[in-house]
Amino acid sequence: MFIVFSLGVVFIAVFVYYVYSIQFSSRGLPPGPNMWPFGLGVLPSALIRKPVFNISKLRPWEYFDLWYKDYGELYSVQAGNFYSVVVASHEIMTELANAEEYSIKVSHELFTYPRTFNKELGLIFVSNPEIWVEMRKFTQRTLREFGFGKRHTMQSAIEAEVQQLLQEFQERIESSDRKGVVSIRTIFVLSVLNVLWCMVAGKRYDRNDPTLVEMMERNFSMTKSTTFIEPVQAIAPGLKKSFPWLVGEDMRLKVFQECHEFTRSLIEERKQEGLYLTEPQSYLDVFLRKIYENKENSKSIYDEEQLQSMLADLLQTGSTTTNGTLNYGLLFLTLNPEVQRKCQEEIDRVVPQHLIPSVEDIERMPYFQAFILETHRCACVVPNPIPRLVPKDWNYRGYKIPKGTFIISNHYSVHMSKQYWGDPEVFRPERFINEKGEFVPDKRVVHFGYGKRICIGISLVNSVVPIFLSSLLQKFNFSVVPGTKPPSTEPEIGVSLSPSEFSVLAEKR
C-alpha cells in the first residue's frame, strides 16, 4: 500500500512539473532551464546543475553563464512570481541598449523601499522614467558645474586624496607591528568618497573620522548582504518581515537609517549657513536652492526626501564599486609580478618621481591602460546590473515578452566568453595591445553597462582607478606576504563584487 501511495505521489509531482513547464513555455517566452511548480522556478534546476550547500552563497551570474551555454544568448528563468529573460551576449545587449522596452524602467520589487522613504525617489533604483530623466540631467549638469568630469578640477581633488593614501601606506610600512603588511578591503573607500564629496557636499573628511569610517564600513557590509538577483527572496518574499535577520534585512534597515541621519545632518548644516540661495558651493546647495524655488509647486519632485535619496545614491554606490575595482587591481598586480614590473617601467618612463600621474599621463601608457581594462574584465565588479522592467507587451526576435517581465543582463558571460577571448580565465593585459604596441580598447568590456542607464560615474572611475593605482606603483612594490598562500580572486558576493579581504606586503621602491 505504501509503495502504491509513494508511486502516486511521484506521478502527481511529475505530472504537475510537466504541466507547469508546458504552461510556462506557452507564454511565448524564450526557452530556458526547467521550471518547477510552487514558486520554486529555476532554483532546483540551478542546484541540480551546480550544487551548493549554502544558498546564500549562490552566484547568479555563474548559473546564467552555464545556461547561456545550454540555451543560447536569450533565455528565460523564473523565481517566485517573477519571470525574467536573461541576455547573455554583447550583440543583443548592444541591440537593446536604447530600445524603449529596455532603456529606462528598472525593477525595484526585490529591493528595500525604506531606503527611499517607501517612495519613488533617487536615481539608481527609481523606476519612474520621468523622475529618472529629470534627476539624471540635473545631477550631470550640476556636478559638472563643480568640476565633475573636468580634468583639471578632478585632478586636483584626486591628488589631495592620493597624498593621504600614500602617507597611510608609508605609515604601515614603517609600523613595527605591521612590517609593511597592508590589509585590503575598505582602505580606498574614504579616498574615493572624498573625491566625489568635494563636489557633492563641498567638503572632505579625515580618513580617521570615526563616525564616517564606521558608517562606511557598515555600508560596505550591507552591500555584501544581497545581490540584484535574489532567488530565495523572490520565492519567499515574506522572509524580509518574518525573519529579517535571516536575509540581512535588519542590517540593511539599520544602514538606511544611519544614512538618512547622515544626509539629514548635511542638509541642516548647509541650510543654517544659508549660502545656498546666493552662493551655492556644491551639488547639495544647488539642490536646496531648487527646492526653495519650487516650494509653491505641489507637483515638484524637488524636496528634501528626494535630496536625501540622491545623496544616498551618490554616497552608497559611488564609492563601493570603485573600491572593489581598486581592490581587484591591487590583487592582480600582487598575483602577477611581471605585469606589475611592466606597469612600473612604463610609469617611470612617463612620469617624474616627484609628480602624481595625471589622466594625460595615463593616456601615454598603453600597457598600463591595458592593465586597467583587463582588471575591469576579470573583476566584472557588477556582473548583473539592476534588472530592467518591460513597460509593455513586447515582441522581440519572435518571442512574446509580457509587460512586467524582468530583463537581466549577464555581463559575466560577455567578459568570460571562451569563444571570444580564448583564455578568459587568464589575466593578460597584452590582449588589448596591438602589434604596434598601441592600446586597443574593446567594447565587450562592459563595466559601465549599456544604454541610457549607463553608469553616471564613468569619469570618476576612469580618473580615480588609474591615478590611484599608478601612484601606488610609482612608490611601492606589492607582493604576497611571505609564509602565506597567495590571496584568492574569489569575490565577496554582493550588489557589486570585490575580492575577499586579503593582505599584501608593501615595500618602498
Q: Domains along the chain?
A: 1-103+385-415 (3.30.43.20), 119-335+452-508 (1.10.630.10)
Is 67 in a helix, a strand, or coil? helix
Cβ contacts of 174 within 8 Å, gap of 6 or more: none
Report the alpha-carbon distance of residue 256 to residue 30 in Å, rounded: 38
362, 369 contact by CB (below 8 A): yes
Mean pLDDT per 10-residue section of the chain, whose length is 509 residues:
48 46 60 73 68 65 88 86 87 85 61 74 83 91 82 84 93 79 90 89 83 74 65 59 67 81 91 90 94 92 94 82 94 98 98 94 97 97 87 90 89 95 97 96 87 78 94 97 94 86 94
Please state the pTM of the whole predicted model. Answer: 0.88
| Rounded to 5°, angle at Cα 442 from 320 and 347 | 70
| Rounded to 5°, angle at Cα 398 from 394 and 400 | 35
Amino acid identity of residue 53, one-letter, is F
253, 226 contact by CB (below 8 A): no
Please state, in angstroms and as integers, the Cα–Cα distance from residue 192 to each residue in 153, 284, 326, 462, 492, following that order. Answer: 15, 18, 10, 12, 19
Give the residue carrying C-alpha cell 605609515: 171
47, 54 contact by CB (below 8 A): no
Report the alpha-carbon distance of residue 457 to residue 149 in Å, rounded: 9
Q: What is the pLDDT of residue 13?
A: 47
HEC sequence for 287-315: HHHHHHHCCCCCCCCCCHHHHHHHHHHHH
- Is residue 305 classed exposed, middle or buried when 0-12, 13-18 and 19+ CB atoms within 10 A define those classes? middle
Report the alpha-carbon distance of residue 420 to residue 53 in Å, rounded: 32
Written as nine digits, the cell of 27 is 507564454
Q: What is the pLDDT of residue 311?
A: 92
Please state, in angstroms and as integers, the Cα–Cα distance from residue 290 to each residue in 142, 218, 348, 368, following that order. Answer: 11, 32, 47, 42
Report the alpha-carbon distance of residue 406 to residue 29 in Å, rounded: 12
Please state, in angstroms and as integers, the Cα–Cα distance from residue 64 to each residue in 43, 46, 149, 233, 408, following that order. Answer: 12, 9, 35, 18, 10
Task: Dump pLDDT digits (tens) for 351-377.
Answer: 999 999 999 999 999 999 999 999 999
For residue 399, the surrounding DSSP H or E stretch is strand 399-401
The most distant pair of C-alpha atoms in the chain lies apart, rounded to whole Å, by 87
Q: What is the pLDDT of residue 231?
A: 58
Q: What is the pLDDT of residue 348?
A: 97
Helix axes 210-223, 249-273, angle to 10 degrees: 140
Q: What is the pLDDT of residue 10?
A: 46
Specify the DSSP class assigned to residue 35.
P
